[in-house]
Amino acid sequence: MAVGRKAVGGKAVGQKVAGWGVSLAAGAVLVLHPAQPPAVDQTVAAPAAAVPAGAVAASVGACPASGRICTAPRRNVVLDGRTLTLDDAATGPLDVVLRTAGRLTDVTVTDHEGRGIAGTVSADGARWTSAAPLAADGRYTARLLVERSEGGRHRRHLARLRLRTPAVPAGERLTAELGPGGGTYGVGQPLTAELSHPVPATDTEARRTVERALHVSSEPRVEGSWHWVGPTTLHYRPRDYWPARATVRVRSALDGVRVTGRLHGGPSAPLTLTIGDRIEAVTDVAAHTMTVYRDGQAVRTIPVTTGKAGYRTRGGVKVVLGKEATVRMRGDSIGIARGSRDFYDLKVRWATRVTWSGEYLHAAPWSLDAQGSANVSHGCTGMSTENAAWLFRTVRRGDVVRVINGYGERMTPFGNGYGDWNLSWTEWLRGSAHGPAAAPDTEDGAGALRPAL
């Protein structure tokens, strides 16, 4: 997904002026005013009346976007290359408003490493606002082309402003551990971000800040969104499954960003993963079969048995969490008392896990007579040893397992594996701080039932 854009007005032809790359509308005249050598760390506050003839001046501020009370005063400054140090209370997006005649036609803001800062020019050309607050302890350069009507001709003036942001105060930093880790995954694998500090649902602006800083891109590109599972956990998924054989990159730009109060973001390791073939296993409970598809083509139909009355297999979409060649399964792990008729204690082969509470797709040689004709399990999907071994070799983490035409409860979205796909896209967007409405927190227990595999 693209995360930045630059507003440009009119058709442009590139020219080099005094070492700067400038976009000019065809036929326009460029008038440059020599910049004064900037004084390092100099804070400039020039009233509009003190603006030299022909110069460009602007009002600069950075108030919270949420409408909260802003205690950082706006500063009037001449845009001649001098340096403005933002106030420590300037916690919102950078906002530059022209105070002299003219219209902004091109604005470029870069940090000290040359990376562009996204922003937009207002419809009247008088204001430029960054898409997100500037990071702390940063150095930025803003280059603005201002168009004026002078003597019946349109002239463009190049203005420049250097900015500094205050250093990050000492204390805790908010970081994000990005998951699931490097490697190859199935098309249903959600991305995760585990935060080092909670961000409550009541602080919508802080959540928006976090989401803006968590960048996801993929090749090919897809539409996707973050969803707050709890105060320290976010999941990201596309609108539909990931494209097969895609490359997905995730990075955090939280470092130096003010999140809430005196809490600033810290550095977080980026993540790159790949997506394999589109593998989907569809279990038809009523037909007692599982059909496995690769890239939309059925490759095998397997006779299966699913959960009997009282132990019905969950319906809906699940995602493969892991695989265990041998796993011990005991009835007391799901509340069946020892000594009861339903109790079991078995070593099971070729087990593919789909919930943290213990639902698997596995070999069940003791139920061969029922496979394809009856549901006799305690909730797992059982099949022959040969078919279970084939499935074990075929699927990987992140592949999709869908249960249809059943009688069990629906797979929950969070807390017992990855049930993210059981939410509609509209429901998913409600869990984003940028969505149509903030969703209430679910229990922050996405890992509460997660045993070691």
In this structure, are residues 445 and 357 in contact, taking their beta carbons and an 8 Å threshold?
no
- Catalytic residue flag (residue 362): yes
Q: What is the amino acid identity at position 248? A: V
Q: How many helices (H) and strands (E) does the chain have?
A: 3, 32
Is 380 marked active-site?
yes
Catalytic residue among 227, 264, 288, 362: 362
CB 327 within 8 Å of CB 360:
yes
Give the SS3 label for residue 427. helix
Sign of the Cα pseudo-torsion (196, 199, 200, 201, in order): negative
Contact criterion met (CB below 8 Å) for 235 and 414? yes
Q: Which distant-in-sequence residues (6+ apart) come within 8 Å of 168 by Cβ? A: 136, 137, 256, 264
Angstrom distance (rounded) from CA 20 to CA 312: 68
* Amino acid symbol at 440: P
Q: Give CA–CA dist 8/174, Å, rounded.
A: 35
119, 129 in Cβ contact below 8 A? yes
243 burial class (0-12, 13-18, 19+ CB within 10 angstroms)? Answer: middle
Q: Residue 283 in contact with residue 404, Cβ under 8 Å? A: yes
- Catalytic site residues? 362, 380
